Structures are given as C-alpha cells and as structure tokens.
Amino acid sequence: FRDQSQIYALKKEIEGKYTFRNMNSRNSVMRRLFDVLPDIAASEATVLLRGESGTGKELFAKAIHDLSSRKDGPLVILNCGALPEPLREAEIFGAGRGVYPGSVENRPGRFEMASGGTLFLDEIGDLPLPLQVKLLRVLENQEYQPLGARSPQKANVRFVTATNCDLEAMVEEGAFRRDLFFRVNVVALQIPPLRERPEDIPLLIDIFLDRFNRTYGKKIRGFSPEALQILLSHDYSGNVRELLNLV
C-alpha cells in the first residue's frame, strides 16, 4: 500500500506539472503557448488559432476565455462549417419576427447570446464571402444588424477564431477576404500536430486510460508492450482526438 501510494502521488505530481487549463503537454512548443496564454487572454485582441483538426483548438479558446476579464460571461461556440447555408446568417446575427414563414418571435443570434463574453468562431475558413463582409463590419464597428431589424445593435463580444485551412492561400484564390484575414489575424497561435510532439503520447495515454477507468469502473493498469509500440509509432492524422478514441 505504501509503494502504491508513492507511485500514485508521483503520477499526480507529473500530471500536474504538465497540465494547463485541461490541456496536457511536455512539448516545448506547447509549453511556450501555455506561457503566453494569460497575457493574450488579458487583452481584447482577436485571436486566430491555427492547427489541424483534433489538435485542441477549442480547449485553447476555452482557456483564453477562462483567463480573461470576460470569464463570468458566456462562451459561445459556433462551427462556421456545420450550419446549413440558408440558416447561417440568422444563426450568427439573429432574425426578427416574421423574417421567415412561421417565425412568430425574435430569434437571438450568436452575437446576442455571447454578449459580455467570448464568441469562438471555429472553422472560420468555411464562412461564405457574403457573411465574411458582414463579419468584417462587426469587427471594425462593433455593431451588427439582425435580419429584419431596423437598427444595428452593439456587439459586446471578444472574438476568438480557428481554422485548419491555409487562409493565406484562400486569400490569393479569392475565397477569403484579405481585409478580414488581417482583422482576425491579430494574434495567431499555431498549435503543433501530435506527430510533432511524440513525447506527449505516453503522457496522454496515461491520462486517457485513467479517465476511462473512472468512467467504466475498470482497473486497467496499462498496455502490453506490443500495443504500446503501435500507439507510439502511429502517425495520428486525427491528432489528440484520434489518440483518445484509440485508447
């Protein structure tokens, strides 16, 4: 019992040392990102999180919100590519009563829902050009106009955006507005993929295994050497999300 308690205490100490706001990493690049997050969160600057799918961009957005002066306000998350195109504008900006057939009341948009807090626009590269124009106006004037409304409303939100696209290439192709790119690219953080930080794989494996043991009431101590070797040598095109699902 004494030996086990010492091992457990050491394990918790190691996990605590490499944990920052529900994110875990031994990697030097990730640790530098963790170091600058409090200063970035303290400002009102728009943040662009760049990285492949599954690298944890949403966790970074949550950390920025929780460390900011807006932490008591809402964090509203919108995946720009997940909304049906006819509903995108209404979902983002809101819509007045009677704009759509059968709409009998005002429909609040994400700007209104995020008032006083943070609006996280995930996959901003999927936003169509007409909505890019409207978003640019919000970023420049801090005002937006719901569909069917007679006057604009103030947008009291902090913007955090994310993409796994090459926005510079999209700008050159005309698929993303250059002026909007400069407006969202005020503070850019590049989150490295898991294959570039292999030292994190054993740490994450232990954390995920412990999580699933508690979830399912199991007492699995670890992986066989053969299974561990497969996990350590895998490419992880799906990054941390793929590792979690594999565990």
Tens digit of pLDDT per residue, the chain (247 long)? 455 555 555 555 555 566 788 899 999 999 999 999 999 999 999 999 999 999 999 999 999 999 999 999 999 999 988 887 777 888 888 877 656 655 556 778 899 999 999 999 999 999 999 999 999 999 999 898 887 777 888 889 999 999 999 999 999 999 999 999 999 999 999 999 999 999 999 999 999 999 999 999 999 989 999 999 999 999 999 999 999 999 9
Is-contact 29 192, C-beta < 8 A?
yes
The pLDDT of residue 146 is 82
Q: What is the pTM of this model?
A: 0.87
How high is the pLDDT of residue 101?
A: 54
In this prediction, residue 59 carries a pLDDT of 94
247: burial class by Cβ within 10 Å (0-12, 13-18, 19+)?
middle
Distances (CA, A) of 110 to 45, 104, 114, 137, 147: 19, 19, 6, 16, 13
Within 10 angstroms of residue 82's Cβ, the number of other Cβ atoms is: 11
Task: Report the pLDDT value the prediction gives residue 145, as an integer from 0 to 100.
Answer: 84
Q: What pLDDT score was predicted for residue 1?
A: 46
pLDDT at position 169, please?
96
Label residue 30 exposed, middle or buried (CB < 10 Å: 0-12, 13-18, 19+): buried
Nearest to 120 by CA among 65, 200, 180: 65
H/E element, 103: none
